[in-house]
Amino acid sequence: MESAADAAQVRPGFRERVETVLREHWREPVIGLRLGDADLRFAVPGRRPDGTVEGEGLVREGFLTVARGIGAAVGFVAYLASAAGSGGGKGERAVHVTGPADAQVLEPLDLLRRAKGPWLVCSPTSVALVETGSTYLDPADAPEPRILWEARGADAPAVSFRKRTLTWPDGSRFAFPLRSRTEDQYLRQFLSHPDEVRWPE
């Protein structure tokens, strides 16, 4: 059941608009999933953990490093306080993007990182990343969904909804985070064991 918090994060009507646009574009059944906000972690040669290119913006990066250090210290103190009360934990952040230097995953993910309302839309033959802008708005006041990136047929990455991954031919991978439990529940209704998809009609 959808919580009030989840409903506030993605107002009713956004998914329907996104799926309608891509269904008409591809003329295939689609599944649209609101992705988590683009705070993604990278493990790709030539990229920093936040996805920015190594070596770019060195002066600005120096100031940001100091700010991050202060923020990290505050965050670490908060983490220790939290871990002490909850029995501890590793505190490691999940890596979402992996692959070799110049990986195929980088082009779509660079576009995704700038999106304010990112969606992953899949069909039996195609994959797209879509931008709707803020999903807190009334859908009637929001801009039309915009395709940021798409791949079809042999160019499309392999999708595993159960593992929540997109995998490109060069082995690069995006472990996509869903926005909320509502998205997880929506996806589950289309899955069969082990990783078969019952596409909506």
pLDDT bucket at 3, cuts 50 / 70 / 90: low
Each residue of 179-201: pLDDT tens digit? 999 999 999 999 988 779 999 98
Q: Is the pLDDT of residue 65 over 60?
A: no
Q: Is the pLDDT of residue 46 over 90?
A: yes
pLDDT bucket at 93, cuts 50 / 70 / 90: confident
Q: Would strands 97-98 and 146-152 be described as parallel, antiparallel, or unpaired?
A: unpaired
pLDDT bucket at 105, cuts 50 / 70 / 90: very high
Least confident span in 3-17, 30-44, 100-114, 176-190: 3-17
**pLDDT computed for residue 139 by the predictor:** 78
**pLDDT computed for residue 88 by the predictor:** 41
**pLDDT computed for residue 161 by the predictor:** 96
Q: What is the rounded distance in angstroms from the CA atom of residue 92 to the CA atom of residue 83?
A: 13
Average pLDDT over residues 124-145: 89
Q: Is the pLDDT of residue 173 over 90?
A: yes
